Amino acid sequence: MKQDKGDRAFVELLLMARALGDVGLETLEVACDLTLQTGIIAAAIVMNEMRRLNEVVRPKTLRSITHAPPLQIEPKADCSRYDSLRRMYYDH
């Protein structure tokens, strides 16, 4: 409230909390605690924390592997094969 237009920012925070429903006030409280830990008190930071707390985690979409090219050479569990390739370029 000491900041310029602090009362307006406070009302915006309360409206955002109300829009979240039953968990809105709890989310607002956690966001305020996180903001106080940073040492910078601003409504924009509290709003950002509230958005982060309510962000839905979206799973990454997997690409279809049906169009993968076939392997020309099957992989082998033979380290000597890779050592021979390494010697071609790095002869000590």
- pLDDT tens string, the chain, 92 residues long: the values are 566 777 788 888 888 888 888 888 888 888 889 888 988 888 888 888 888 888 877 777 766 666 767 788 887 777 777 777 776 655 55
Overall pTM > 0.85? no
Domain annotation covers residue 64: no
Contact 12, 43 (CB under 8 A): yes
Any domain includes 75: no
Asked whether residue 14 is domain-assigned, the answer is yes
| Number of structural domains the chain divides into | 1
pLDDT for the residue numbered 1: 58
Position 1 in a domain? no
| Distance separating alpha carbons of residues 41 and 26, to the nearest angstrom | 18
Question: Which residue range forms the structural domain that includes residue 28?
Answer: 6-53
Residue 80: inside a domain? no
Q: What pLDDT is recorded for position 87? A: 65
Q: The tokens of 22 are what?
A: 């039953």
Q: Residue 11 falls within a domain, yes or no?
A: yes
